[in-house]
Amino acid sequence: MSDDLTRQVLAGSPRALARLITWVEDNDPRAAQCMEALHPHMGRALVVGLTGSPGAGKSSLTDQITHHFRQQNQSVGIVAVDPSSPFTGGALLGDRIRMNRHAADPGVFIRSMATRGFLGGLAQATDNVVKAMDASGKDVIIVETVGVGQDEIDIMRIADIICLILAPGYGDIIQSMKAGVMEIADIYVINKSDHAGADQLYAEVNSRILQDAQIARKKREAPPVVKTVATEKTGIDDLMAAIASCGHAFRESGHMAEKRRERVRRQTFQMIHFALFQRLEAALARDGRLEDLVDAIIEKKKNPYQAIREIVDSFIRIPS
Amino acid sequence: MSDDLTRQVLAGSPRALARLITWVEDNDPRAAQCMEALHPHMGRALVVGLTGSPGAGKSSLTDQITHHFRQQNQSVGIVAVDPSSPFTGGALLGDRIRMNRHAADPGVFIRSMATRGFLGGLAQATDNVVKAMDASGKDVIIVETVGVGQDEIDIMRIADIICLILAPGYGDIIQSMKAGVMEIADIYVINKSDHAGADQLYAEVNSRILQDAQIARKKREAPPVVKTVATEKTGIDDLMAAIASCGHAFRESGHMAEKRRERVRRQTFQMIHFALFQRLEAALARDGRLEDLVDAIIEKKKNPYQAIREIVDSFIRIPS
Taking only the tens place, the pLDDT of each residue in B169-213 is: 876 676 676 667 778 899 999 999 999 999 999 998 998 888 777
* B260 within domain boundaries: no
Work out the pLDDT band at B3, boundaries 50, 70, 90. Answer: confident
Region of residue A316 (phi > 0: left; psi between -120 and 50: alpha; otherwise: beta): beta
Work out the pLDDT band at A278, boundaries 50, 70, 90. Answer: confident
Grouping H, G, I as helix, E, B as strand and the rest as coil, residue A282 is helix
Chain A residues lying within 8 Å of B271, measured CB to CB: 304-305, 308
pLDDT on residue A88: 40
Q: What is the pLDDT averaged over residues B259-277?
A: 87
Question: Which of A180, A273, A316 lies nearest to residue B279, judging by beta carbons?
Answer: A316
In chain A, the N- to C-terminal Cα span, in Å, equals: 42
Range of the domain at A80: 42-252
Mean pLDDT for all residues in chain A? 85
Residue B139 is part of a domain; what is its CATH number?
Answer: 3.40.50.300
Highest-pLDDT range among A15-29, A122-136, A292-306, B128-142: B128-142
Q: What is the pLDDT averaged over residues A291-318?
A: 83
Chain A residues lying within 8 Å of B260, measured CB to CB: 298
pLDDT on residue A91: 44
pLDDT on residue B88: 40
Beta-bridged to residue A316, according to DSSP, are B316
Could you give the count of Cα atoms lying within 13 Å of B36 in the half-sphere of its Cβ? 16
Q: Tell me the one-letter amino acid at A305.
A: Y
Q: Answer whether 0.90 is exceeded by the pTM.
A: no
Task: Test A150 with B279 for CB contact under 8 angstroms.
Answer: no
Same domain, A133 and A248: yes
Task: Test B279 with A32 for CB contact under 8 angstroms.
Answer: no
Residue B19, H or E segment? helix B14-25
Question: Which of A178, A277, A293 lies nearest to residue B87, judging by beta carbons?
Answer: A178
Same domain, B46 and B34: no
Nearest CA of chain B to the CA of A320: how many Å? 6
pLDDT on residue B218: 55
Highest-pLDDT range among A117-121, A316-320, B98-102, B225-229: B225-229
* B202 within domain boundaries: yes
Nearest CA of chain B to the CA of A105: how many Å? 32
Nearest CA of chain A to the CA of B128: how many Å? 13
Are A114 and A81 in contact by the 8 Å Cβ rule? The answer is: yes
Mind listing the pLDDT tens digit for each residue in A59-114? 899 999 999 999 999 999 999 987 665 444 344 444 445 566 787 788 999 998 87
Same domain, A169 and A280: no
To test the contact with chain A by mutation, choose from B53, B118, B184, B273 the residue with the greatest count of A C-beta atoms within 10 A, namely B273
Same domain, B55 and B95: yes
Q: Tell me the one-letter amino acid at B158.
A: I
Task: Test B36 with A298 for CB contact under 8 angstroms.
Answer: no
* B257 within domain boundaries: no
To test the contact with chain A by mutation, choose from B276, B289, B306 the residue with the greatest count of A C-beta atoms within 10 A, namely B276
Chain B residues lying within 8 Å of A305, measured CB to CB: 32, 35-36, 39, 271
Q: What is the pLDDT averaged over residues B237-245?
A: 97
Chain B residues lying within 8 Å of A132, measured CB to CB: none
Mind listing the pLDDT tens digit for each residue in B64-116? 999 999 999 999 999 998 766 554 434 444 444 556 678 778 899 999 887 66
Nearest CA of chain B to the CA of A9: how many Å? 18
pLDDT at B140 over 80: yes
Nearest CA of chain A to the CA of B31: how many Å? 12
Same domain, B1 and B99: no
Chain A residues lying within 8 Å of B316, measured CB to CB: 276, 279, 315-317
- How many angstroms separate the Cα of A71 from the Cα of each of A50, A111, A219, A240, B261? 20, 21, 34, 12, 59
Work out the pLDDT band at A244, boundaries 50, 70, 90. Answer: very high
Task: Test A318 with B283 for CB contact under 8 angstroms.
Answer: yes
Same domain, A155 and A237: yes
Task: Test A294 with B265 for CB contact under 8 angstroms.
Answer: yes
Q: What is the pLDDT averaged over residues A281-296?
A: 83
* A320 within domain boundaries: no
Are B307 and B296 in contact by the 8 Å Cβ rule? The answer is: yes
Same domain, A30 and A98: no
DSSP symbol at B53: -
List all residues 6 or more positions away from B210 whose beta carbon is below 8 Å from its beta carbon. Answer: B222
Give percent helix, percent strand, percent coil of chain A, each to the nearest 5.
60, 15, 25
Same domain, A101 and A193: yes
pLDDT on residue B98: 54
pLDDT on residue A232: 94
pLDDT at A266 over 50: yes
Q: What is the dihedral of CA A111, A112, A116, A119, to 10 degrees?
A: 40
CA-wise closest residue to A144 among A231, A53, A235 = A53
User: Of A252, A280, A299, which residue sits at a domain end?
Assistant: A252
Mind listing the pLDDT tens digit for each residue in A157-210? 899 999 999 999 876 676 676 667 778 899 999 999 999 999 999 998 998 888
* B258 within domain boundaries: no
Total domains present in chain B: 3
Same domain, B23 and B90: no
pLDDT at A295 over 50: yes
Nearest CA of chain A to the CA of B68: how many Å? 30
List all residues 6 or more positions away from A187 whose beta carbon is below 8 Å from its beta carbon. Answer: A161, A162, A163, A164, A223, A224, A225, A226, A239, A242, A243, A246
- How many angstroms separate the Cα of B210 from the Cα of each of B51, B179, B217? 21, 19, 9
pLDDT at B57 over 50: yes
Same domain, A242 and A273: no
* A61 within domain boundaries: yes
* B288 within domain boundaries: yes
Nearest CA of chain A to the CA of B233: how many Å? 32
pLDDT on residue A249: 94
Same domain, B276 and B182: no
What chain A residue is nearest to B273 in terms of C-alpha separation? A277
- How many angstroms separate the Cα of A320 from the Cα of each of A310, B272, B288, B308? 12, 14, 16, 20
Same domain, A109 and A121: yes
List all residues 6 or more positions away from A133 whose beta carbon is below 8 Å from its beta carbon. Answer: A17, A45, A77, A79, A109, A111, A141
Q: Which of A148-157, A287-296, B289-298 has the lowest mean pLDDT?
A: A148-157
pLDDT on residue B318: 67
User: Of A217, A252, A287, which residue sits at a domain end?
Assistant: A252
Q: What is the pLDDT averaged over residues B223-235?
A: 95
Question: Which of B84, B271, B318 lies nearest to residue A308, judging by beta carbons?
Answer: B271
* B320 within domain boundaries: no
Residue A111, H or E segment? strand A108-114
Task: Test A150 with B86 for CB contact under 8 angstroms.
Answer: yes
